[in-house]
Amino acid sequence: MRTPHDTEQNLVMNRHNERNDPGNSQYPGEKIIIGDRHIGQGYRPFIIAEMSGNHNRSLERALDIVEAAARAGAHALKLQTYTADTLPLIERIAATGKPVIMSTGMATAGELDEAVQAARTCGCNDIILLKCTSTYPASPNDSNLRTISHMRTLFNCEVGISDHTVGIGVALAAVAMGATVIEKHFTLSRADGGVDAPFSIEPAELKQLVEETKRAWQSLGRVQYGPTRPECKSLVFRRSIYVTADIDAGTVLTPENMRPIRPAGGLPPKYYQQILGKKVNRSVRKGTPLSWDMIG
């Protein structure tokens, strides 16, 4: 008997084989373009403001929401939601040749596989899946953001988040987990009410989301050890071993005449125990950085 776990394991293996097949050209490249924006790991997160029902049945308010989202720096505005279980709609949209963004709320791995394959079969390679928790509002405890990187591996496509939590903290964490698209419900004012107002963000918060997700993305960088180029000028503030008293040739180095202090310039502090008890081969003045050629 096959279990859901077996199904997911097979999906993982199939995706691994497809990505490593040099003749396979079915899957998307490194970026997706929507309008003048690039979406992908090498670009700042794409921010979508979702109007939902926050227009409160007013066309004028709806247009004001559009303008406010643009002023806050959002890259797109969402007017309606369809999820990954509407295969005929996905096929029809995929056939247009435009990128497809799908929310994944409550969808199983198998359902998502069907949705992604439906889109690709119809010629769409530019697919973005949005990790989503379909509660309103959603709890951070139920957000499971580690799914983002797993979803990218499983389906070999861009992944973002449709976030229903209060505030922007979860969205920022999603960027750290690799999300390239962030969708948040948006309203002019929560005090005005509306079906999704309690967990929607206001213009100032949307502006902050745009700015802080960019900073979060910039901070990801690459694997880096040792000083970065800007840090190199700070190396002078590291400690090193200095002579702290005037000493003559033949004097034994002790804690009374040497110690690790700032700035750099002398031997690194890691050699302190090694040179303790050694003799200097010349007279050395107090305040001189200690070097190997002074010892022995």
What pLDDT sits at residue 81?
75
What is the tens place of the pLDDT at every residue in 244-258?
999 999 999 999 999
The angle at the Cα of 263, spanning 261 to 266, to the nearest 5 degrees, equals 80
State yes or no: pLDDT of 156 exceeds 70: yes
Q: Mean pLDDT over residues 270-276, rounded?
A: 97
**Residue 15: what pLDDT?**
44
Say which residue, 139 or 28, is predicted with more confidence. 139
Model pLDDT for residues 178-224, shown as the tens digit of each residue: 999 999 999 999 999 988 999 999 999 999 999 999 999 999 999 99
Q: Is the pLDDT of residue 16 over 90?
A: no
pLDDT of residue 84: 63
Closest C-alpha among 23, 24, 41, 22 to residue 32: 41
Mapping DSSP to helix (H, G, I), strand (E, B) and coil, where does residue 151 land?
A: helix
Residue 1 has pLDDT above 60, yes or no: no
Average pLDDT over residues 115-124: 96
Residue 14 vs residue 121, higher pLDDT: 121
Place of tokens 């198998």: 110
Q: Which residues share a beta bridge with 182?
A: 47, 161
pLDDT on residue 80 = 74
Detail the DSSP E strand segments found in 45-180.
Answer: 46-50, 76-78, 100-103, 127-132, 158-163
The strand order across the sheet containing 46-50 reads 76-78, 46-50, 181-185, 158-163, 127-132, 100-103
Please answer whether residues 187 and 200 qualify as being in contact, where contact means their C-beta atoms are separated by less than 8 angstroms: yes
Whether the predicted pLDDT of 14 surpasses 60 = no
Q: Which of 12-21, 89-98, 208-217 has the highest mean pLDDT?
A: 208-217
Tokens of 142: 């139920």
Architecture (CATH level 2) of domain 29-220: Alpha-Beta Barrel (3.20)
Q: Which amino acid is at 229?
A: R
- The arithmetic mean of pLDDT across residues 13-38, rounded, is 56
Task: Tell me the Cα Rg of the chain.
Answer: 29
**Model pLDDT, residue 19:** 41
> For residue 82, what pLDDT is reported?
59
Q: Is the pLDDT of residue 11 over 90?
A: no
Backbone angles phi, psi at 283, to 5 degrees: -75, 140
User: To the nearest whole number, what is the mean pLDDT of the chain?
Assistant: 90
**pLDDT, average across residues 261-270:** 97
153 pLDDT higher than 90: yes
Rounded CA separation 256/277 (Å): 11
The CATH number given to 230-294 is 3.90.1210.10
Structure tokens at 276: 């303790």
Q: What angle do CA 287, 290, 291 make, to 5 degrees?
A: 150
Overall pTM surpassing 0.75 (yes/no): yes
CATH 3.20.20.70 residue window(s) in the chain: 29-220
Identify which of 279, 269, 97, 150 has the alpha carbon closest to the alpha carbon of residue 129. Answer: 150
Local confidence band at 26 (pLDDT 50, 70, 90 cut-offs): very low
Query: CB count, 10 Å around CB of 82?
Result: 12
3-state secondary structure of 230: helix
pLDDT at 152 over 90: yes
CATH 3.90.1210.10 residue ranges in the chain?
Answer: 230-294
HSE-CB of 122 using CA atoms within 13 angstroms: 21
**The dihedral formed by the CA atoms of 81, 44, 73 and 140, expressed in degrees to the nearest 10:** 50
Residue 212: what pLDDT? 98
